[in-house]
Amino acid sequence: MITSLTLTDFRSYAAARLEPGPGATVLFGPNGAGKTNVLEALSLLTPGKGLRGASSADLGRREPGEAQGRPWAVSTLLETLEGEVRIGTGVQGSGASRRVVRIDEQPAPPGRMLEHLRPVWATPEHDRLFSDSRAERMRFFDRLVFAVDPAHAAHVAAYEKALRERLRLLTGEEPADPIWLDALEQRLGEAGARAAEGRVAALEALQAEIDARGDRPFPQADLSLSGEAEAMAGRGEGEAAIAAAIRAGMKASRSRDAGAGRSLFGPHRTDLSALHREKNRPAAEGSSGEQKALVLNLILGQVARLADSPARPILLLDEAPAHLDERRRAALFDEIEALGLQAFLTGTERVLFTPLEGRARFVQVSGGGFTVD
């Protein structure tokens, strides 16, 4: 459990400290007060760029006239079964792009943060998740996968790095070296196969969790993945066979990819789709409210899987009540409490969180600081 969060020159905060409660913490205040900045800080306590996808150089606070953001830091104190753990991250120079991580004051690789906590989040951008871009859907889904399987992040990162290197070779002024292409496609096959298997395993477990949640007032989704590698993983064809298929497909598409200037084959082209079970229609055709309810059911199913793990999930919901009716808002708050989650929720009006009165810590956000209400 997070017992304190300290922000130093992060976004709109010069210096601020928040002490959340063990359950839900509601951050309320007008637009622009800095509520989402708090969730973004918490989302950086995991590998990656956080819930806004911003570069480290863009996260530092700027005074008028300053061309670059200041060095910034996010630090949190966790209470765990083994005792207190301090996790910090930030940059050490103005405009620096390399984010460093410290655990109990010692340098650590970013992946080590996942040993202690697993942030899972939803933002207003996810309200149209199933009708927006494929890339955004897969970023969202891959985040859910590596919240359970931290190795998945490394497999996806290795695949994407090799994919960029291969495309640079194919689109360069000089003819691409076939030996180097073979080596890169070998790496793509290995990392892509592992990523595909991780996605399929996560989808099957998540679907089972969703199926078990039929008594909740959230719509259920039938999920599927469209990629060829994922289809092979679903049939149990094994890592070696999947890797070989990826290598063969990459080799066959070299000239096409060179002409297009982008890679047209591989697990990076996979898409996630969902069928609204009750209405028997694609989730992409639903309203923002329906899509948000489907996404929340996915997230609640995911954190339910993580609830008993040593690295506890924390739930970050930006503008949680938006597009939800009163019944579903109350149900969401009840589920957060029933799962024993530490959750951080934002909204412009306190009244939107009335069902949480007496069950949550309410914090007003204004002027770069916090006031417990």
Asked if residue 176 belongs to a known ligand binding site, the reply is no
pLDDT at 268: 96
Strands 221-225 and 272-276: antiparallel
Minimum mean pLDDT among 39-48, 62-71, 201-210: which range? Answer: 62-71
Asked if residue 30 belongs to a known ligand binding site, the reply is yes
Average pLDDT of the segment spanning 212-224: 87
Question: Which among 34-43, 107-116, 119-128, 311-320 has the top mean pLDDT?
Answer: 34-43
Average pLDDT of the segment spanning 153-162: 94
Q: Is the pLDDT of residue 72 over 90?
A: yes
Asked if residue 32 belongs to a known ligand binding site, the reply is yes
From CA 31, how far away is CA 23, in angstroms rounded? 24
From CA 60, how far away is CA 72, in angstroms rounded? 5
> How far from each other are the two terminal CA atoms of the chain, in whole angstroms?
21
Task: Kindly state the percentage of the chain with pLDDT values over 90.
Answer: 71
Q: Is the pLDDT of residue 97 over 80?
A: no
Asked if residue 111 belongs to a known ligand binding site, the reply is no
Task: Kindly state the percentage of the chain with pLDDT values over 70.
Answer: 100
Asked if residue 227 belongs to a known ligand binding site, the reply is no
Minimum mean pLDDT among 64-78, 107-121, 157-171, 301-315: which range? Answer: 301-315
Q: Name the helix (H) or strand (E) containing 173.
A: none
Asked if residue 31 belongs to a known ligand binding site, the reply is yes
Q: Is the pLDDT of residue 201 over 90?
A: yes
On the 0-12 / 13-18 / 19+ scale of CB atoms within 10 A, 271 is middle
pLDDT band at 140; cut points 50, 70, 90: very high
Average pLDDT of the segment spanning 100-125: 92
pTM for this predicted structure = 0.90
pLDDT at 217: 83
Q: Partners of 372 in the beta sheet?
A: 363
